[in-house]
């Protein structure tokens, strides 16, 4: 409890920017990693349960499917500052993420 209170006091200090803890580049990496991990684990379980594929091929197939279906995140520096963008095959165009 003391640790949580000290972290909230630290986070509420006025001299800290909102993006102090994570830059847009780090956020894009974390989003990319999490989206791939969720798809990879999900497809790995589905492939293992519903297909006759065994061994190393389960992970390889889940890796390829996860890589193709995962959204791509990228941080780009513009004149307005650093912005985070997402591109995904299920969404038309490129979207800005705030």
CA distance 19 to 33: 19
Give tens-digit pLDDT for 22-77.
888 899 999 999 999 999 999 999 999 999 999 999 999 999 999 999 999 999 99
Give the pLDDT of residue 30. Answer: 94
CA distance 35 to 28: 11
CA distance 75 to 94: 12
| Residue 9 pLDDT class (50, 70, 90 cuts) | low
Q: Are 75 and 83 in contact (CB under 8 A)?
A: yes
């Amino acid at each position: 409890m003391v640790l949580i209170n000290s972290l909230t006091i630290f986070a509420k200090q006025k001299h800290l920017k909102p993006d102090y803890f994570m830059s847009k580049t780090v956020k894009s990496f974390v989003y990319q990693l999490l989206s791939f991990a969720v798809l990879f684990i999900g497809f790995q379980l589905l492939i293992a349960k519903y297909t006759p594929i065994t061994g190393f091929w389960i992970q390889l197939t889940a890796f390829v499917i996860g890589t193709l279906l995962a959204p791509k995140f990228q941080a780009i520096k513009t004149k307005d500052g650093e912005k985070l963008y997402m591109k995904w095959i299920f969404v038309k165009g490129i979207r800005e993420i705030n």
